[in-house]
Structures are given as structure tokens and as C-alpha cells.
Amino acid sequence: KVKYWLPVAQYIGGAEHACMHLIYARFFTKALRDLNLIPKFDEPFTKLFNQGILHAQDGNKMSKSVGNIVEPETISKKYGIDTARFFLVSVVSPDKDMNWSEQGIEGSYRFLNKVYNYFKSVKIGKSSKRVESKLNQTIDEVTKLISTFDYNIALIKIRELFESLEPEVNKRTLEDFLKILHPFCPHITEELWTKLGNKPFITLQQWPKADLKKIDPKYNFMDKLKFQINKDIEQVIKLTNIKPKQVKLFIAEPWKYSFFKKLKSELEKTSNLKEILPKVLDQKHNPEIVKITQSSLKDRSKLPEVVLSQEEEKKLIQDLGLPYKIIIILEQQAQEQKAKQALPGKPAILLE
């Protein structure tokens, strides 16, 4: 039995155990080893993880003696126990202390309701390449994050995946989504697994494996770009103190996209301006090309990770989910001077 169970792969316990349980276990292990009563290993536990402490809304450590605990049964009746599990591991890293928040658990409850309602309305058909890419990337990331106890980051990735799911996806996509959510929300995922017509339990299924060949950096960049454009708009609103009725987004002219593709390709070969310019100049836009090239050499972070086409970028930003009207204008059709500032991956913004 000792050979089977020991040494323990992972010990999880409070930091206060270091001077009690842990020191005793280590002492007895070493003593029994020296007496040749157990196999030759020095430590009873291969890895140690100290979890954080849960505090009540009053800021004090939750304790029955203090009388400030939140009973799991109370939470379960109101929200379901999966909501409590989801909230507890999504707020902070498991090794950090955290405060219980009724407002926070409401947010987790809303998310799980969205998941449940999506499964009631989704059409099972074919998943787009974009969804396939996001799914496999998330499986890869979540697998690694769970192994390092980064549960809060894993749930961020799972939420991002859910937000990227489309009205029609294939059954495999739905199944894999449920599998990576399952460790955190075992009850709702088990129910949805059954509603998909699957047997036996999801608990008995193999963990999904990421197909790295299906991960396309372009789709990952598109998600980042959408987030960044939202952030840029909010930043302009904050700086100007304007509450816009509508936002105009100017998308760069087509020549800028082809130029940026050439520029990125040349920058992979050399940082010499004299070698790069002959490869990227086009006479008509030379002054602007020289300026952008010089700026990119000084700070390559200004270059987009992936250069989309003008049409792809236009399609991407048609629905940013903002609380005001978005008007998309192509630079070559614009009357406003602001439009000239548009670059691939960086639309010019005008508030009205």
C-alpha cells in the first residue's frame, strides 16, 4: 500500500499546517525510512499547495465560532452549487485570500444561465474555422492552467471561448466546451451532456486534446483587435469627456494593408532601413511609407500581429457591442481628415 500511495503527488492544505500536520508527516516518514520500514523516499509529499482563506463580507475570516459563515445549502437553494463553485475559483488565484461577495456570485449566476440558455437555442451543424481555432487554443491553455492551479485564468479563457461560440456549431464543439467547464461546474455540465443525447456520464469521458494544427493566429488576433478597438473608443471618450450619440470608425485604405504585409515580411529579414525601403515603396504613397517604416523600426509593437484585409477588418468591427451607433467608413470614401490616421488594425475614431 505504501508503494501504491506514497509519495503523495500533491498536498493541498492551509499554511498553518506547516507547523503541525506537515512537520509530523515529514518526521515520521524520515524515521520509518531510517528504520527500513518503508521504501527509500525522503518526503511524503512531492508538491505542496497552500490555499487562501475565505473572508466574510465583514472582512473577517469565515468561521463557525464567529458566526459569519455562508452556508453552502443557502447558496445552493438560491443559485445552485455550481454557481458557488464557479464564483469561488474565478475571483482570485486559489492561493490568495478572498472576500465573499453577493454581487460577485450574481455575476457567476448570470453567466451560467447564459450557458444553459445557449444550449437550448444552439443549432447543431458545422463549426466555423474561427470557432475551431478558438476551441483548440482554449483546450490547450486550460489544460496547462489547471495543472498549475491557475483556475481563475482558466475560467477567463473558458468565458472567452463561450463568447466566441456562434449560433451554429458542431456537436463536438459543444461536447469539448462542456468537458473543460466540467471540473468547475459538474452538475450543469452533466445535465447538458445528457441533453445532447450522450451516455455515459461526462465524468467518465476522456479529457479533450487540442489539435494544434487547427489553431490559426489570425482568429486569435481578430479577438484581440475587437477588444482593443472597444478599449480605444472608451479611452477617447474618457479623454474628451464626450458622450457620443454615434462613433465613426475609419478603416485604412487597401494599399496600407498590402504595404504592412510587405513591411512585416522585410522586418523579419533585416532592420536596415536602406534595405527595406526599396522593397516597400510604391511612388504614390512614398512619404507616408517612409514615415511608417521609420516609426516601425523604432517600435515594432506598433505593427499588428496579423495583417487582415480591409474587408476582413470591416466585417470584424461591424458588431462591437457598444451602447451607441457605430458607423464604419472606408478611408478612400471618407471626407473627414481624421480618416488619414487609420492604419491596419487601428481604425481612426471620431465621436459625434
pLDDT at residue 321, as a whole number: 64
pLDDT at residue 319, as a whole number: 66
pLDDT at residue 105, as a whole number: 86
Q: Is the pTM of this model over 0.85?
A: no
pLDDT at residue 306, as a whole number: 86
Rounded to 10°, the helix 217-240/129-147 angle is 90
pLDDT tens, per residue, the chain with 352 residues: 898 999 999 999 888 778 888 999 999 999 999 999 998 899 999 999 888 888 877 777 777 777 777 777 888 889 999 998 998 888 777 888 877 777 778 989 999 999 999 999 999 999 999 999 999 999 999 999 999 999 999 999 999 999 999 999 999 999 999 999 999 999 999 999 999 999 999 999 999 999 999 998 888 877 788 888 888 888 888 898 888 888 999 999 999 999 999 999 999 999 999 999 999 999 899 999 999 999 999 998 888 888 888 998 888 877 666 677 889 999 999 999 999 999 998 999 999 8
Q: Please write the tens of the pLDDT for every residue from 118-144.
A: 999 999 999 999 999 999 999 999 999
pLDDT at residue 94, as a whole number: 82
pLDDT at residue 248, as a whole number: 92
pLDDT at residue 326, as a whole number: 87
